[in-house]
Amino acid sequence: MRRDAKKRGVGGVMLLQTVVRLIAAAGIIGFSVTAFALVKMVVLARARRSSAGFSAFRRGVPGIVYFTTPDCVTCKAAQRPALRALVKQLDRNVQVIEVDATDRPDLARQWSVLSVPTTFILDRDGKPRQVNHGFASAAKLLSQLQRVS
């Protein structure tokens, strides 16, 4: 009888430890998601202050500012084709402004670009409304453009 009580005690402790670990993991995940959302808000706020300076931007047409580098494999293999497909689909209803972050490190710094590819969705007035760190598919970019139009 004593052995069964010990087994139940050990099992209860293990269950309690598992529950505590799950709660801790959920807390870490929640903190991470919140921190990422806050970082995106800060990046967008900073980009809004720096959004002037694109003489190529046509007011009245939403756009995408695309930060890249010549040696970015993801940019060449995935992001550029996604942007080309989007431009082909939307024709003159979207504009893409490509910025080489190695040629314009000042601009990349102003827009808080830490990695490439990075894309910013601009509304019709040229204000940044969304940011994508890393690859963004044509479908995702289209969805974001539709939200700002």
Domain locations in the chain as residue ranges: 1-149
* DSSP three-state, residue 133: strand
pLDDT value for 85? 96
Residues forming a β-bridge with 110: none
Q: Within 10 Å of residue 120's Cβ, how many Cβ atoms?
A: 26
**Quick one: tokens of 73?**
């494999």
pLDDT value for 51? 59
Site of tokens 């996604």: 82
In which band, very low, low, confident or very high, does the pLDDT at 8 lie, cut at 50, 70 and 90?
low
Q: Which CATH superfamily is domain 1-149 in?
A: Glutaredoxin (3.40.30.10)
Residues forming a β-bridge with 95: 63
In which band, very low, low, confident or very high, does the pLDDT at 29 lie, cut at 50, 70 and 90?
very high
* Residue 2: pLDDT over 70: no
User: 118-132 pLDDT, tens per residue?
Assistant: 999 999 988 999 999
Q: Name the range with the highest mean pLDDT among 49-53, 65-69, 106-110.
A: 65-69
**Quick one: tokens of 128?**
């940044």
User: 53-91 pLDDT, tens per residue?
Assistant: 577 788 899 999 999 999 999 999 999 999 999 999 998
